[in-house]
Structure 1
Amino acid sequence: MENDGDDGRDDWDDGGADWNDEGSEQFEWSLEDVPLSGDAEATLERIEWLGELLDEAVPVPGTDYRVGLDPILGILPVGGDAVAALISLYIVGEAARMGVSKSKLALMISLVAVDAVVGSIPVLGTVFDAVWKANKWNVGLLKRELGV
């Protein structure tokens, strides 16, 4: 990774291969790809990135299925699902800031609430989190509401 010095980040590159070099389209882990400006396009890109991270960042070996950090955080007792829910609410907050209707916001909050409540059940909740893609759905709701 090259750094021209004007973005405030330190140079780092371990010189090794990426975590998955199979050639298929994979989730990008690079923080350089996270848009940090406040405009609507950058906000949409940022929440799409976050939705992917929470719901589909990691491929399940031997399958075409992907899980995200949400079920992985859910493995942590008590606080894991709470942290995942708070991160998920960031997407809802950005949707509210972008002018999504109250009915869509209520639906988005409901999706996150179901994810948090059912996801907090030991063992079953982790499996549920791997299937219930509330963040991807919320990003889709936002995009449809905005006509994107």
Structure 2
Amino acid sequence: MDTEPAALGRIRTVAHILDESVRIPGTRFRVGLDPILGLLPIAGDVAMALCSLYIVAEAVRLGVPKRTVVRLLANIAVDATVGSVPVVGDLFDAYWKANVRNAELVAAAVAERQ
């Protein structure tokens, strides 16, 4: 049987891969697949938004409150919308880190009910 810690671990792993998996040499700044694949016009942002929905699906499965799910979806919408703007959107993606934000929201919602 699946446990909350295992689900939260998967969420954190996906968030890390999408937002923080690659350190920019010579800096402490990290980016992930989201801003990198976001360089591909439209297709990259759509693909990353779909990947981000995995975190929402796990959150729903964990039974987080609807208001948290709405916030998760709003973060993804902001990320996809602003991220679709050439160049500026890619820089925004690198800083916004919607998936890391969403992982933290899910973890807080799960911890809150315990």
TM-score, normalised by the number of residues in structure 1:
0.73
Equivalent residue letter for 2:37: L
Which whole-Å CA distance do the structure 2 matches of 1:86 and 1:38 have between them?
Answer: 23
Query: Residue 127 of structure 1 is aligned with which of 78, 91, 95?
Result: 91
Secondary structure at the aligned position of 2:85 is classed as coil
**Structure 2, unaligned stretches of length 5 or more?**
none
Query: Residue 141 of structure 1 is aligned with which of 82, 105, 110?
Result: 105
Q: Which has the higher helix share?
A: 2
**Which of 1 and 2 has higher RCO (CA within 8 Å, sep 6+)?**
2
Equivalent residue letter for 1:72: I
**Structure 1, unaligned stretches of length 5 or more?**
1-36
Q: For this pair of structures, how many residues does the alignment match?
A: 112
1:40 to partner: Cα distance = 2.2
TM-score, normalised by the number of residues in structure 2:
0.94
Report the equivalent of 1:108.
72
Report the equivalent of 2:20.
56
**What is the RMSD computed on CA atoms of the aligned residues?**
1.2
Question: Are positions 1:42 and 2:42 aligned together?
Answer: no
Query: Residue 46 of structure 2 is aligned with which of 63, 82, 89?
Result: 82
Greater Rg by CA = 1
Which whole-Å CA distance do the structure 2 matches of 1:145 and 1:119 have between them?
Answer: 26
Equivalent residue letter for 1:125: G
